[in-house]
């Protein structure tokens, strides 16, 4: 008797034979149908290629057919990836060609004899070029790309559409090339510092570039005249320092920065008997450039400044509020964010951080208001390191002795790119970071201002170091530099005056990460006492206040004095420091909002991942997922994090 749950062997064999015949019949029908299809379908599927792939297997078993289909799918993916690589490469090379000074800073020297055009007539040409790149990009089916290329697709699409959509605002900030925050006058030696002087051609290219500078400044003045015509000039505080900057720079022709490379011993060795001729040619170029700078000074004083906008914020322009909304979204990469929302977030964060400061004061046994405490801190000379080398050494100790040993607990695959601490080349802000090269030959540099000890009291050193170096900017830049990401994702050019008609550099991702790093520093135990923790809260309070005063100035109609008083009420800034900061926000609307908005978004993504993954959440993996992908808009980063969450869950299942 045959058990009820079994099947006779002859029935199994018969079933297999029938199934095999049916399978072959279906495959034959499939091939016949495919042969009569047009060569390419509407969705781009190429049948002849598929026929070849399929035909090589004849009536082979279904497993071989699956292999053929898989191989063909992989071919489609490779072709799409190659097409994507070409578009990103062509786009990046176009950026380097149209912004040659930036190209030089990146170590790409084929445009070292050229300068960027500031002719407003080129705006439309560039927009049209970006449109053509976008059309090429959209011709690729995103689903044919692998994961890395798919992210690049989303980022490049955002870069190009942001730039193209921003063209509608070309008559606003882009017509104002002069301001006290950026440009040659803010760091006259930078062009010399980033230019190589190893060959005769290097020196010649530099001379040719300087010879073109008068024409470039003519273009700037012509463009600024158009700002006057359209009544879209900057406020007086954005430009009133420029005449003095020009006077200081041109006071001594013999010490003009551009002549320095020709006075060094290397010049005699490289240039040989052409040294005198080349030096004289450089001096002539400098003389003409100085004359042009003096013309710029007269233009600023006599023509531009009498027409500067009367309102402190850009709300005073016609359609200024709408312009500010687009600028805010450009800087935060949050497409639906509103000035009202940003302002309220700022107020809420100020209240929260204020309570954190009060808790620290209570632990320290300090009575009075927060401002009373700030006053005590500023008057206490024990928090100041007066000896310059001692201050630099303190920063180095924080990096190498305190932070780096803790880093592997919170990060994986940590790049081994060097970081050094140096004094700032000129008096200015407390500290800033300049990234190095991806091969490590040029280290990242943490510049600190040791000329003014009061700008860097010991209680604020840890927070500043964390923000600018590790796990802040240096670590983030290092992950990006050592990655296999395409160059357009690694390198982004910062510009003050052009938003929203400029290529986004994802300020909110970059600065948001650095502020998140300060928050993470508390979790890592990097603040050694309550005074250093207070230093962190002071910095965070400052970033929260920026949300309030930036939106206040440009959207809600605040005047300069009200904004200054707000900083004085809630931060440790002096009157002079507050004035400089507010003038920065007046000149560069929206940018200062990126820090806190970005930090809040990263915290939001972390909380989401922790909730969805539970015990599967790995903080080092979360950080790696963010940093290894480089700067991007937040909606793309959110997609990246969602995919990572799904992958973690899938691996567990």
Confidence of residue 70 (pLDDT cuts 50, 70, 90): low
pLDDT digits (tens, 9 = 90+) for 305-319: 999 999 999 999 999
Residue pair 194/105 in contact by the 8 Å Cβ criterion: yes
Question: What percentage of the chain has pLDDT greater than the value 70?
Answer: 88
pLDDT at 76: 72
The pair of structure tokens assigned to 251 is 């006071």
pLDDT surpassing 60 at residue 62? no
Residue pair 481/435 in contact by the 8 Å Cβ criterion: yes
Residue pair 466/472 in contact by the 8 Å Cβ criterion: yes
pLDDT digits (tens, 9 = 90+) for 124-180: 999 999 999 999 999 999 999 999 999 999 999 999 999 999 999 999 999 999 999
Confidence of residue 437 (pLDDT cuts 50, 70, 90): confident
> Is the bond preceding residue 500 a cis peptide, omega within 30 degrees?
yes
The pair of structure tokens assigned to 393 is 């050494």
The pair of structure tokens assigned to 409 is 């607990």
pLDDT digits (tens, 9 = 90+) for 539-579: 999 999 999 999 999 999 999 999 999 999 999 998 988 99
Say which residue, 475 or 58, is predicted with more confidence.
475
Secondary structure class of 171 (helix, strand, coil): coil
pLDDT digits (tens, 9 = 90+) for 438-452: 899 889 999 998 877
Backbone angles phi, psi at 429, to 5 degrees: -70, 170
pLDDT at 79: 92
pLDDT digits (tens, 9 = 90+) for 306-352: 999 999 999 999 999 999 999 999 999 999 999 999 999 999 999 99
Q: Name the CA radius of gyration of the chain, rounded.
A: 30
Residue pair 326/166 in contact by the 8 Å Cβ criterion: yes
pLDDT digits (tens, 9 = 90+) for 200-240: 999 999 999 999 999 999 999 999 999 999 999 999 999 99
Q: How far apart are CA 591 and CA 571, in angstroms?
A: 19
Q: How far apart are CA 564 and CA 577, in angstroms?
A: 9
Confidence of residue 5 (pLDDT cuts 50, 70, 90): very low
Q: Which has the minimum average pLDDT: 23-32, 220-229, 359-368, 594-603?
A: 23-32
Sign of the C-alpha dihedral computed for residues 492, 496, 500 and 501 taken in this order: negative
Supply the DSSP string of 432-487, one letter for each residue. Answer: EEE---TTSSS-EEEEE--S-GGGS-HHHHHHHHHHHSTTTHHHHHHHHHHS---H
pLDDT surpassing 60 at residue 51? no
CA angle, residues 295, 299, 305, in degrees to nearest 5: 150
For residues 580-604, give the mean pLDDT: 97
Residue showing tokens 């001729």: 277
User: For the chain, what's the residue count?
Assistant: 653
> Is the bond preceding residue 194 a cis peptide, omega within 30 degrees?
no
- Which is nearest to 105 in space by CA: 454, 493, 384, 513? 493
Q: How far apart are CA 321 and CA 60, in angstroms?
A: 68
Secondary structure class of 558 (helix, strand, coil): coil
The pair of structure tokens assigned to 244 is 């003095």
Q: Which has the minimum average pLDDT: 57-66, 98-107, 178-187?
A: 57-66
pLDDT surpassing 60 at residue 53? no
Other C-beta atoms closer than 10 Å to the C-beta of 26 total: 11
pTM: 0.88
Provide the mean pLDDT of the chain.
91
Other C-beta atoms closer than 10 Å to the C-beta of 344 total: 14
Q: What are the strands of the beta sheet with 444-448, ordered from one edge? A: 419-423, 444-448, 431-434
pLDDT surpassing 50 at residue 12? no
Secondary structure class of 332 (helix, strand, coil): helix
For residues 49-76, give the mean pLDDT: 57
pLDDT at 113: 98
């Amino acid at each position: 008797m045959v058990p009820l749950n079994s099947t006779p062997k002859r029935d199994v064999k018969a079933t297999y034979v029938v199934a095999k015949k049916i399978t072959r019949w279906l495959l034959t029908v499939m091939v016949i149908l495919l042969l009569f299809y047009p060569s390419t379908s509407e969705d781009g599927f190429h049948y002849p290629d598929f026929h070849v792939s399929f035909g090589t297997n004849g009536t082979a078993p279904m497993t071989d057919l699956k292999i053929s289909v898989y191989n063909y799918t992989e071919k489609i993916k490779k072709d799409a990836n190659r097409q994507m690589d070409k578009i990103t490469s062509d786009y990046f090379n176009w950026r380097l060609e149209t912004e040659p000074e930036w190209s030089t800073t990146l170590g790409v020297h084929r445009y070292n004899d050229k300068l960027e055009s500031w002719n407003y007539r080129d705006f439309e040409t560039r927009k049209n070029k970006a449109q053509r790149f976008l059309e090429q990009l959209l011709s690729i089916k995103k689903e044919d790309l692998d994961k890395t290329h798919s992210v690049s697709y989303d980022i490049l699409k955002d870069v190009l559409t942001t730039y193209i959509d921003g063209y509608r605002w070309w008559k606003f900030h882009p017509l104002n090339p002069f301001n006290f925050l950026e440009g040659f006058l803010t760091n006259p030696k930078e062009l010399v510092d980033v230019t190589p002087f190893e060959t005769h051609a290097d020196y010649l290219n530099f001379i040719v570039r300087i010879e073109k500078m008068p024409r470039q400044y003519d273009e700037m003045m012509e463009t600024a005249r158009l700002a006057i015509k359209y009544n879209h000039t900057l406020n007086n505080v954005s430009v009133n320092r420029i005449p003095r900057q020009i006077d200081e720079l041109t006071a001594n022709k013999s010490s003009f920065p551009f002549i320095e490379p020709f006075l060094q011993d290397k010049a005699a060795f490289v240039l040989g008997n052409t040294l005198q001729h080349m030096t004289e040619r450089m001096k002539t170029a400098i003389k003409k450039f100085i004359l042009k700078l003096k013309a710029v000074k007269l233009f600023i004083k006599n023509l531009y400044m009498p027409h500067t906008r009367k309102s402190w914020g850009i709300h005073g322009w016609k359609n200024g509020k709408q312009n500010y909304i687009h600028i805010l979204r450009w800087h935060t990469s949050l497409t639906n964010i509103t000035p009202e929302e940003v302002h309220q977030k700022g107020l809420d964060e100020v209240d929260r951080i204020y309570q954190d400061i009060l808790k620290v004061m209570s632990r320290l046994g300090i009575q009075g208001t927060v401002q009373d405490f700030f006053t005590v801190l500023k008057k206490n000379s024990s928090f100041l390191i007066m000896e310059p080398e001692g201050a630099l050494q303190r920063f180095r100790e924080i990096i190498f002795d305190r932070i780096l040993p803790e880093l592997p607990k919170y990060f994986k695959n940590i790049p081994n790119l060097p970081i050094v601490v140096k004094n700032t080349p000129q008096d200015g802000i407390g500290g800033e970071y300049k990234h190095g090269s991806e091969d490590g030959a040029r280290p990242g540099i943490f510049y600190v201002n040791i000329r003014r000890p009061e700008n860097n009291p010991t209680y604020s050193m840890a927070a500043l170091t964390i923000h600018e170096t590790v796990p802040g900017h240096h670590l983030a830049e290092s992950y990006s530099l050592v990655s296999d990401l395409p160059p357009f994702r690694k390198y982004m050019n910062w510009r003050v005056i052009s938003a929203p008609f400029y290529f986004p550099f994802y300020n909110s991702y970059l600065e948001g990460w650095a502020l998140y790093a300060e928050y993470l520093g508390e979790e890592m135990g990097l603040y050694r006492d309550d005074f250093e923790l207070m230093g962190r809260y002071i910095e965070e309070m400052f970033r929260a206040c920026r949300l309030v005063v930036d939106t206040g100035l440009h959207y809600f109609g605040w005047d300069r004095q009200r904004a200054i008083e707000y900083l004085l009420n809630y931060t440790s800034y002096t009157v002079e420091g507050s004035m400089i900061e507010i003038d920065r926000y007046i000149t560069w609307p929206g940018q200062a909002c990126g820090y806190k908005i970005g930090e809040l978004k990263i915290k939001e993504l972390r909380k989401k991942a922790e909730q969805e993954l539970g015990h599967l959440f790995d903080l080092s993996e979360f950080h790696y997922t963010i940093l290894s992908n480089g700067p991007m808009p937040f909606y793309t980063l959110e997609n990246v994090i969602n995919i990572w969450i799904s992958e973690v869950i899938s691996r567990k299942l």
